[in-house]
Structure 1
């Protein structure tokens, strides 16, 4: 594999590089001694004043189809990547650590559009695997340490990952690909490019579709992802108007989280117990009867709240030691739509501008089959014991509507490149914790959105308003020395309203009635670099 790493070099590296250039080089190596099949890491200084590493489209094609875009950077220095499966298909378990900085301490953008902090319960964006089909990524750039001042992010403490989509082709054509593998893995991908259309002033576009499914490597349940991407470019005046659209539908079945003690006692292949619904009911009943789950008073099983099934006994079936050894099932559901429109133009030989507007809508549910809350605690009658399961579905529900704009202008003035820009985003975000009843005869489908809750534990409505602007100057002092300096100003206003807390509406003026606005801002965040 040949991987190009673009990084700003430190002084020591510059000195070593100059010495190396004087003593050896490609011209000094006889052609017959060069092994063209070996893995090569090429480190190139390109005037960057930060450490920047880039994977090109050629590098990305070396990964298996359907691989998580986050996994694509695992070969870069300083990156530690972990996942629960070879493709990184299980989003909950995908994590990266870059020189000690966690995933939510980094910034992420796609075609300059902010993706938030990439955490699983993301309140301000979405995971890159849902933002674009992996085959449509054209470039990945990792800035370790201080990210660019222009990065539209409030979490880029330890650097930033910037993804760029693969634009429409100049030529008409298409691609169809299919991948299959173990654990019933299948993936189909198709893309059709219109090519440049002279009748539309050279406009070009594409549409693509991908569908992937694979079973968990242990336990029961699939990981599913279905996506549609579309994009266009059209010359307008001195620049190019471009657009991108993403529709994503993710359904993933969770693995059971295992402690070291559980691994030793239950084994490496232990997981949730789906499709054994009878066992799930039995464990929920026993947990209620012996007091482990605390959903009723075992000494008064018919009093409110009623125990779901007093006749089930109190002894755990082997090898269970408690109700937390395994649950029936858990899952993550995410539906997203992301769209942007951009205009980039060189107004003169020395002045260029860029502007982007975007929207993002998300609906999500994190699903867990829990024995810790039952409908009997909320008034279900004892007479319904034969129908109502002791295992309910608990959800964490997400509803997000983001919209924003960002722009920049660049002026090349002699040896200086002066740049300034802004980013504004408004985010309407709601989060709720709800519970849904199951029947003893059959559970709710775990990969479908839950509706008709019997209880809401809490419900919050948030509004986030983010404003950022920056100014910087890059000075090419000599061919060997470049210095850049600038600052950015960031302000975030967060407003929250509490709709439900503790299964009831909050008492006005109480500590649980969280309502108000918090502002976090810093008007001068400087950055200086050189190479």
Structure 2
């Protein structure tokens, strides 16, 4: 299963290999077609070469989005470089107003724990892209997408653009009820050279990054880069190391002055040992440093027999306090090829074909099912794999006062998810199964269930931006979206599922007209007003038996009724704001509102191992929010950024369950803080820079009835770097120091990773890492 379909993706990206041959075959443009360059041996970029990101003159975090008809924010590669190398780009985005990022580790790399919300929209209600490649809602199990950490190394990200309110209708997404995040890869350099970077730090962190740029290989500008990163870092509590290997490569081939062909390739291999999910009861009694037994198999074995030696029996659930081990293994291939051409008369056409192949194996060694040999433990393994193939094609025409834009997106997604059990040894009679190793499915002693899903998605969009006056522009357009998913059963164990046959069939989410209207008015050269109104739809999620999706329902009759009545989630999103730009100050004030319809809640029940989740349509959700942010530019290279955000998202209706009426009306949506405050003080002078970041988040509820919450927290991070400039053959030799959680706070970082119960405590919290130190040395050549 692991490598099925990967060959196809490799073939789609194989164009990266013959780049040297392409360079040799490419004719040199006539001198008359190129401007003279005064630098010896230099190649002048042609019009077909992608333009570099515009220079950011004030801040590397562009919160204020001047000129946009929606609230937009951009983070440059410079801001990413100030974080510890390998830090998730999503974590850096958490410095923006109303963006909440959660992770149990300091890098935001441990994927099971990572969650991001924007203005109260959860991760599975946002849209994500890399260049033109749709990343879906970036779920851990890759049913509909893939996490950006697995598609590009942070050093190869040129910039990231965030639309906090609602993304443009052109963004290819299955899930963006709310905003979008668009990541853009850096192009190969026109000059030959490379980068070497080494990071050391707490918990035996060791990360190596290397990149080689070919430079322009001929007069047309053919060029490529190849980069590799290897990371090892121990967990900050418990035992186990997380291992990451990743390769990125990119080829840019201009054809004449008006056409560019770009090919991108990514390979990622990840092995993560899990932190244990905790309840508030476990945190209060066992402490925030509590974790699984690994590698102490004897302790886990004895606990499975009811012999507890570490205080587990003082909690309200000793059996689930800790397991032997859990892990997540992932391998991914991503390939894309893009043709971008200027057709003349203000018209451009850009088409991207892409292919993504994923394989995963997630494990838990628990006492819930004994092994056939009599051992009280067994390994639960969920293996999965998928292939996505798609095409995004956009046409733009700038005509008089109009900017017309239209395009299509098509994708086919084939995904398999199975769950099996594997035997563990009797104590003292062999080695336990390694959480780092993919198990052979032929060795399973029990096949519980297996599903296959196939999804076809088509999206069309059309919009026009009309410049009414030089200082007033209006944008209006719509998109049409249809997505059909069909499920099939690969195998079913009636003794486990309790069903002779599992439900299967199809669900379709469709909307012919999802409109968007927005405008911006530059009142003066320093003051600007904007508004945006849009309607969006999210398609149906899918996963295996009892896994919290409409397809995981256990009863065939209920699924048939669901096919007739279930409606996709939709949301009307409104925002209006004011931007101010002065020499010494940039500011933003934004108010927003969202009205959800057919809000589907996943209600977690039972233990996290023997869990069952129900999907409930609770009707409407109303969300209101306010953002205030600003940057003061002091003399002598100092700036101070602050943002305050308030968000109130409540359910409009109660809903009926088999045990009665759930009184959720007026309750705050879980996992998300109502109040957030962020601050950053920065100092830049010549080669030296330093930053202090502060982040406050209010309490976050874990249950829908708002009875149990993670308390508020305040975290401070510090970073400093010095660039020595040219030293012999090395360019930009630099040293960097980062201190995470500078004040050593104890805090709850993650809420809701195992789902949300209707009421009460649940094993769905993860404490954040204590103070961590990291040092980096890097050089260019």
Range class of TM-score, shorter chain: 0.7 to 0.9
**Once the 2 structures are TM-superposed, how far is the Cα of residue 46 of structure 1 from its aligned partner?**
3.8
Cα gap change, 1:466 to 1:41, in 2 (>3 Å)? closer
**Once the 2 structures are TM-superposed, how far is the Cα of residue 42 of structure 1 from its aligned partner?**
5.7
* TM-score, structure 1 as length reference: 0.82
Are residue 394 (structure 1) and residue 380 (structure 2) matched?
A: yes
1:55-204 alignment, distance < 5 Å? 55-198=75-218, 201-204=220-223
Q: How big is each residue's C-alpha offset from its partner over 1:236-293, in whole Å with a ceiling of 9 and x where there is no partner?
A: 252100010000001111111111111121122111011111111112233xxxxxxx
| Aligned-partner Cα distance in 2 for 1:506–1:328 | 25
SS in 2 for 1:61: helix
Equivalent residue number for residue 320 of structure 1: 312
**Once the 2 structures are TM-superposed, how far is the Cα of residue 375 of structure 1 from its aligned partner?**
3.2
| Aligned-partner Cα distance in 1 for 2:62–2:376 | 59
Are residue 367 (structure 1) and residue 363 (structure 2) matched?
A: yes
SS in 2 for 1:337: strand
Equivalent residue number for residue 288 of structure 2: 268
Equivalent residue number for residue 420 of structure 1: 406
Are residue 521 (structure 1) and residue 510 (structure 2) matched?
A: yes
Cα gap change, 1:40 to 1:366, in 2 (>3 Å)? closer
**Once the 2 structures are TM-superposed, how far is the Cα of residue 503 of structure 1 from its aligned partner?**
4.9
CA contact (8 A) 2:388 2:414 kept: yes
Equivalent residue number for residue 392 of structure 2: 406
CA contact (8 A) 1:371 1:391 kept: yes
Cα gap change, 1:168 to 1:504, in 2 (>3 Å)? farther
CA contact (8 A) 1:499 1:506 kept: no
**Once the 2 structures are TM-superposed, how far is the Cα of residue 453 of structure 1 from its aligned partner?**
1.2
Cα gap change, 1:48 to 1:403, in 2 (>3 Å)? same
Aligned Cα RMSD in Å?
A: 2.0
Equivalent residue number for residue 442 of structure 1: 431
Q: How big is each residue's C-alpha offset from its partner over 1:72-116, in whole Å with a ceiling of 9 and x where there is no partner?
A: 101111111121121112111111111111111100000110011
**Once the 2 structures are TM-superposed, how far is the Cα of residue 346 of structure 1 from its aligned partner?**
1.0
**Once the 2 structures are TM-superposed, how far is the Cα of residue 505 of structure 1 from its aligned partner?**
11
Cα gap change, 1:187 to 1:41, in 2 (>3 Å)? closer
| Aligned-partner Cα distance in 2 for 1:511–1:528 | 51
| Aligned-partner Cα distance in 2 for 1:202–1:97 | 40
Alignment counterpart, residue 478 of structure 1, candidates 469, 472, 491: 469
Equivalent residue number for residue 74 of structure 2: 54
CA contact (8 A) 1:52 1:143 kept: yes
| Aligned-partner Cα distance in 1 for 2:128–2:321 | 36
Alignment counterpart, residue 340 of structure 2, candidates 344, 348, 372: 344
**Once the 2 structures are TM-superposed, how far is the Cα of residue 43 of structure 1 from its aligned partner?**
5.3
Highest relative contact order (Cα 8 Å, sep 6+), 1 or 2? 2
Equivalent residue number for residue 458 of structure 2: 467
Cα gap change, 1:524 to 1:68, in 2 (>3 Å)? same
SS in 1 for 2:254: strand
SS in 2 for 1:197: coil
CA contact (8 A) 1:506 1:512 kept: no
CA contact (8 A) 2:63 2:74 kept: no
SS in 2 for 1:515: coil
- Give the number of equivalent residue pairs: 454
Are residue 455 (structure 1) and residue 429 (structure 2) matched?
A: no
| Aligned-partner Cα distance in 2 for 1:494–1:42 | 39
SS in 1 for 2:303: helix
Cα gap change, 1:489 to 1:195, in 2 (>3 Å)? same
| Aligned-partner Cα distance in 1 for 2:380–2:497 | 21
> 49-58 or 424-433: which moved more?
49-58
Cα gap change, 1:154 to 1:41, in 2 (>3 Å)? closer
* TM-score, structure 2 as length reference: 0.56
1:229-308 alignment, distance < 5 Å? 229-237=248-256, 238-286=258-306
| Aligned-partner Cα distance in 1 for 2:500–2:170 | 39
| Aligned-partner Cα distance in 1 for 2:509–2:281 | 42
CA contact (8 A) 1:499 1:505 kept: no
**Once the 2 structures are TM-superposed, how far is the Cα of residue 190 of structure 1 from its aligned partner?**
0.3
Cα gap change, 1:352 to 1:46, in 2 (>3 Å)? farther
**Once the 2 structures are TM-superposed, how far is the Cα of residue 319 of structure 1 from its aligned partner?**
1.5
